[in-house]
Amino acid sequence: MKEILRVAALIVTVSVVLWFINSKLNASGGPSAKGTLTVYNWGEFIDPDLLKQFEKETGIKVIYETFDTNEGMMAKIEQGGTSYDITMPSEYMVEMMAEKDLLLPINHNKLSNFKNIDPYFLDLPFDPGNTYSIPYFWGTVGIAFNPTLLEGQTFESWDNLWDPSLKQAVILVDSARETIGMGLNSLDYSLNTTDLDQLRKATDKLKTLSPNVKAVIGDEVTQLMVNGEAAVSLTWSGQAADMMSENEDIDYIVPKEGSNLWFDNIVIPRTAKNIEGAYAFINFMLDAKMAAQNADYVGYSTPNLAALDFMDPEVTSDERFYPDEEARNHLEVYKNLGLEMLGHYNELFLEFKMDMK
């Protein structure tokens, strides 16, 4: 009896001491105290040299953490365990987080470099007036392909993917909105449709693509394309840029029916503690030279108009990654369709995957 009580008392004491130390740490020297800035970003989505330069210029120490899905990121912000000062959700996630009251409004007057952003990318439906978010990078969804593995097949239209010569050659992305969206695009429907009839038609059309589908996977596709293991894949422009930098044969195209225009955005979540530091960081990243250096490193398209002057003209005139306005008019930004509709998209996607053999 005494033994057990002693052990129990020991455990309780240790727990209390640890809890006390933990709360002390969080209150003073822990993350996001004065002088530190906790940045929560996608993997491989910033030039690390810029973080060092920011630390040197401002004296603020950056704590950098990464995430790999929007949903995972939101879950951590919602829990509120770590005081993130900056994070970078995609457009539909900005809308969702704003709805859940997880974001702080941004005061544009505090951002002297805000004027550098191309007005074309401002005031979009997912965040009217850019109340909560500043565009960080943007891109499209399209087809990456390796002509050396194909017999002259081209991809001006989404329908080209259905060509019988592509048997077992096409890799799709394991994400409902992109893959169902491709079906919608090929039928000239909106990517944000909530019309059940259109969605049914798009799914049925996708099912006829089954003989051409090699696999439905995630980021692994980059390696398969680079190795020449796969010839054609549905992918994001930034991922295509990664493939192209490692294998020169690969090309990227956005079919003429159009596709998705996506954004990753800088926001200040409610968990932020160093708000002044967050503003300093955003302004630093919006600086034309810094944004140019960052875009060079990351390889995605920057919405920073002033930065384009500091970049290689060969890159900025590349229609595949910086499509002109005419081409951009065919692109559509995702709207947050609500959880119920998202569930329906996913159920149709599951039906399509189940049907694949």
44 is in an annotated binding site: yes
Q: Which two tokens stand for residue 186?
A: 């090929």
Q: Which two tokens stand for residue 335?
A: 């709207």
Report helix angle 176-186 to 196-207, nearest 10. 90
Check binding of 44 to another protein (CB under 8 A): no
Q: Which two tokens stand for residue 344?
A: 């329906």
Closer by beta carbon to another protein, 197 or else 340: 340
Check binding of 205 to another protein (CB under 8 A): no
Site for another protein in 277-336 (CB under 8 A): none
Identify how many contiguous H helices and E strands the chain contains and give both numbers: 13, 9
Are 141 and 178 spatial neighbours (Cβ–Cβ below 8 Å)? yes
Check binding of 150 to another protein (CB under 8 A): no
Helix residue spans in 80-123 (DSSP H): 91-99
Stretch of residues binding another protein (CB under 8 A), selected from 98-106, 220-228, 246-254, 286-294:
220-228
Check binding of 215 to another protein (CB under 8 A): yes
Which residues, 6+ apart, have CB-to-CB distance to 31 below 8 Å?
38, 63, 82, 83
Q: Which two tokens stand for residue 56?
A: 């040197």
Length of the chain: 357
One residue of 23, 69, 165, 329 binding another protein per CB under 8 A: 69
Closer by beta carbon to another protein, 233 or else 301: 233
53 burial type by CB count under 10 A (0-12 exposed, 13-18 middle, 19+ buried): middle
Q: Which two tokens stand for residue 205?
A: 């059309």
Check binding of 343 to another protein (CB under 8 A): yes
99 is in an annotated binding site: no
Stretch of residues binding another protein (CB under 8 A), selected from 67-75, 131-139, 151-159, 312-320:
67-75
One residue of 227, 245, 317, 329 binding another protein per CB under 8 A: 227
Check binding of 339 to another protein (CB under 8 A): yes
Are 327 and 181 spatial neighbours (Cβ–Cβ below 8 Å)? no
Block residue for tokens 């800088």: 266
One residue of 13, 228, 256, 312 binding another protein per CB under 8 A: 228
Stretch of residues binding another protein (CB under 8 A), selected from 50-58, 113-121, 227-235, 324-332:
227-235
One residue of 71, 123, 159, 188 binding another protein per CB under 8 A: 71
Say how many residues touch another protein, by CB under 8 A. Answer: 32
Q: Which two tokens stand for residue 241?
A: 């840029």
Q: In degrees to the nearest 10, what's the CA dihedral of 19, 24, 30, 32?
A: 110
Binding residues for spermidine, as ranges, are 44, 92
Binding residues, as ranges, are 44, 92
Residues making contact with another protein (CB under 8 A):
1, 4, 69, 71-72, 168, 171, 174-176, 214-218, 220, 224, 227-229, 339-340, 342-343, 346-347, 350-351, 353-354, 356-357
